[in-house]
Each structure stands twice: as C-alpha cells, then as structure tokens.
Amino acid sequence: MQVRGTIFSKWPRDFRLLAVAVFGTGIFFGVLMTLFNNFIVDRFNMEPHRLGYLESLREVPGLLSVLMVALILRHPLPLVSGVAVVIMGLGIMAFPLATTVMALTLFSLFWSIGFHCWVPLEQVMALRFSPPGDKGRWLGRLRSVHSAAWLLAIGYWWLHSDDARDRVFRAISRRWYCHGHWWPAIDVCDP
C-alpha cells in the first residue's frame, strides 16, 4: 500500500506500519495519563500513598524483561510486539470493571506486562525497519508520531470535559473583547 503525496510516502512500508502502531499507543497513553488519576480518585477515593503502592507494584513486570528476550528469540519480533500491545489494551479496557483496589492492581499489572514488552521492542523495530543511515533521525520521527498522538488525545479529552468548551470559548471571546485579538495578553481587562 503506497501512500502518495505525503511525507509518509517516503517512509519504508514496515516503518509506516510501526508508526501506525506507535500512533495508537500514543493515543492510548494520552487517554491513560489524562484520565487515570481522576478515575482512581473518583472510583476508589485513592490517597497518594495508596497510589504509590499501586505504581510500585505496576513496575514489577519491568523486572521480567528477561522473559521478553526469550520470547523474541523464539518468535518473530512483530508478533511479540503485537501481542504486547493487545495485552496493554486489554488491561486498560478492564479498568472500568474494577470494583476494588485489588482488581485495579491486577489490571494494572496486566497492562504493565504489555507495556514493558512493547517499549523496548518499539525501539528495536524502529531501528530494524528504518533505512540505513540516520537511524537517530528515524527514531526521532517515531517519537514525534507518538507525541502528536499523545497531544491529540489530551486535547480531545480536555475539550470534551464537562465545562472545557465553555472555558475555552469564554477565554477567547474575553480576550477578543478586551484586546481585539484572541492570543494571551499581559494585561487583562476587568470582568
């Protein structure tokens, strides 16, 4: 599948497919990082020290990286990476099903297994699928795709929160009324 007329048409096919996966995980992390703390506070009335316990347990799968290396020695890299992304997604999709902190911890451990497999494999695949020379530039392009997706997800949830649209439009219209333009000004007129 050749994408014509875009900057992406010059990217190797496998690298484009990896970029699509990275974009998806960027959306995933944008949503997760934007909503997770509110979710656990609203649902479980989580205190900071309990969040620390949850986060420290979530990091345990990172110590199991040796098992991931064994997997990629026996199975194709894209297959292991795909399974890791699916595990990550299923773990997060299970969060609304959590009715106890223990269930939330188990789901966090589950998605963390996928996460700790995916992150190093993403970089390995980027190096493998990028053209020879300028590998650092290709890694940077992949990071840009991830960051753009992350920012899109954060922006989407921010604009779709309860009163965010009203805040944005009020701020823009107030600046326009006070200063004749919408961008931030140093002085703010009185309400």
Span 163-173, mean pLDDT?
54
Report field, pTM of the whole predicted structure over 0.75? no
Mean of per-residue pLDDT scores for the chain: 80
For the chain, the structural domain boundaries read 7-160, 163-191
Summarised one tens digit per residue, pLDDT across range 173-190 is 555 555 544 445 444 454
- Give start and end residues of each alpha helix (H) in the chain: 13-44, 48-58, 65-74, 77-93, 101-129, 135-159, 164-179
Residue type, 191: P
CA dist 33 and 26 (Å) reads 10
State pLDDT tens for residues 109-137.
999 898 888 888 899 899 999 988 889 89
Q: Which residues contact 98 (CB under 8 A, 6 or more apart)?
A: 43, 104, 107
SS3 133: coil
Give the model's pLDDT for residue 182.
45
Tokens (6 digits) for 138: 């290709």
